[in-house]
Amino acid sequence: MKLFGSMIVEENVLSVGGIKLSKLADKYGTPLYVMDEQLLEENCREYYRNFKCEDKGNKVAYAGKAFLTLAMCKIVEKEGLYLDVVSGGELYTAYKANFPLERVLFHGNNKTLDEIELGVELGVGTFVVDNFFEIEHLNHIAKEKGKIQNIYLRITPGIEAHTHEYIKTGQIDSKFGFAPIGDNIINAIKKAINLENVNLLGLHCHIGSQIFEIEPYEDATEIMLKLIKRVKDETGYLIKELDLGGGFGIYYSKGDSPRETKEYCQAILNKADNVCKEIELEMPKLVIEPGRSIVGNAGITLYTVGSIKDIPDIRKYVSVDGGMTDNIRPALYHANYECVVVNRVIHDSRETVTISGKCCESGDILLQGIKIPSVLSGDLLAIMSTGAYGYSMSNNYNKIPKPAVVMVKGGKEKVICKRETYADILRNEIL
């Protein structure tokens, strides 16, 4: 098991932010999301420093889809990062947190007209335009409001990253971006250049998620810079920014081998420098969009063990009070995690069990065939590295309320998302 940030084992009990997780469970109940605030801050700073944001004017935009709350917006703002949002709801969260909207990148492959209008009205810094439908409507709405809207065009670079099929985005067959078929990309760029109420500031690509290799980022950097050079040669128009997306992998369980933040950043910066010299192109400002790698390892989910079913010679099921409603990734992606018994982290005797959720669904399995100390009903389990896409993908299947989120730092805790009640689940229903 790997520990991150302020996570330590004291008296064989797991603590985060100077607080024993058993105390948090007693106070706030389970399931419970716990976020290490210090590690969130450190991860933001690592990217900001290693991507030369201060030295070269590059940008790091936190990908909010991984985990976005009012409190998270405040951390991102304080650490000098930009914010990548993908829906009207995420944009509204940033707005209500008083996040500087000029530092927002508004993504989405099918933004509604209402979302486009909201973004222009609120003063979003940059729209990442995904298709011809969007660029035409954005130009029209910006004209109506007397604005010139900065945009990036999202390009599909044609790169196959080694990751799960559901989180690949850089290949030609993708629902995202302008595909490199015929003159499709050049036509989109020329259209953007000629429209009166949009300003083509940059190009964007994103090759996928949970990527451990360096080479796909280097390949994407080269492809995109050569495209910028081609645009300049054919039209005389110089594209000033290049956003290479995110997808930097993290450690979840044995076998994962992510690179250090510094390695990803240096590889992109060095490749960009070399390619620009080779093709005689003025270096654009570079942008990356880490999400999972900022919040993933900073999160833990706590569960209380309920029923235990031992089927001889087949399987032992340890059921907990959460499941696919608070972490759908195992059911959706077959994602793996590490798990510990909170008050018996280190124990010689271990048994192989399957951690099952409480949903009325056979596929609600959090962990298959893992080895943990023998547990009893009432024991507390911690599943590690759940900071990304746990809370953000949580749902109310089976009318189950969403857990609370508690942030910890320096021996103090604060609730940043209240636990839902049954009344919360019904608040929009009408009889």
How much is the pTM?
Answer: 0.95
389 is in an annotated binding site: yes
17 is in an annotated binding site: no
Residue 157 is predicted with a pLDDT of: 87
Kindly name the residue from 44, 53, 339, 360 that is annotated as catalytic. Answer: 360
Residue extents of the structural domains in the chain: 7-36+299-426, 107-289
pLDDT tens figures, 42-96: 999 999 999 999 999 999 999 999 999 999 999 999 999 999 999 999 999 999 9
Determine whether 360 is an active site residue.
yes
What residues contact 422, with CB distance under 8 A and at least 6 apart?
399, 401
361 is in an annotated binding site: yes
Query: Domain 7-36+299-426 adopts which CATH fold?
Result: Lyase, Ornithine Decarboxylase; Chain A, domain 1 (2.40.37)
Going through 71-139 in order, the beta strands assigned E by DSSP cover: 82-85, 104-106, 126-129
290 is in an annotated binding site: yes
Tokens of 302: 């706590």
Query: Domain 107-289 adopts which CATH fold?
Result: TIM Barrel (3.20.20)
Residue 180 is predicted with a pLDDT of: 75
pLDDT tens figures, 159-215: 866 544 433 444 566 788 888 777 889 999 999 999 999 999 999 999 999 999 999
Chain centroid, CA 1 distance in Å? 23
Q: Is the distance from CB of 219 to CB of 205 less than 8 angstroms?
A: no
**What are the backbone dihedrals phi and psi of residue 49, each rounded to the nearest 5 degrees, phi first?**
-70, -50
Q: Is the distance from CB of 383 to CB of 367 less than 8 angstroms?
A: yes
Low-confidence ranges of the chain (pLDDT < 70): 160-173
Whole-number average pLDDT of the chain: 95
